[in-house]
Structure 1
Amino acid sequence: MTKIERIQTGVRMEKRLVKVLKGTAEYLDMSLGDLLEGIVLHAFDGKSPVFSDETRSKIATLKVVYGCELDATMSHNLSE
């Protein structure tokens, strides 16, 4: 294990996306921070996080439940 220091951060994200992330973290029995760290570390290495087919199916279901229609093509075109 690599020893790290974590800090509390306040970030703003789209509400429905956060609900899907929280649901995914709960489904995977991990914290939201751990899920986000994993996603970001993969992205910084130019890789996609690898979710099982079952997890991707759960994410798709959560997106429907929370009305989250966002996808990667929209990442730089969001406004409040």
Structure 2
Amino acid sequence: MSERNDYPPGVPCWVDTLQPDPQAAVRFYGDLMGWAFEGPGVMPGDPPGQYSVARLRGRDVAGVGSQPSQPSAGAMPTVWNT
């Protein structure tokens, strides 16, 4: 996997995935990508969720969090932000 030190405008630079079973996703992506994870930390919500940060070679590379059981009113759909 190549390593970036900067991101030109318009280039995706961070990935979050919200999953119904975040610990299963941490195991899956950890094995698939060779990532180590920090966390889980507490994600605000009712009920509260979990959020873990994926790390590779000492750098934060992605996040895995709990998928809300019910979408909140006005919640954004899946999007790409650049």
TM-score of the superposition, structure 2-length normalised? 0.25
TM-score of the superposition, structure 1-length normalised? 0.26
Higher strand share: 2
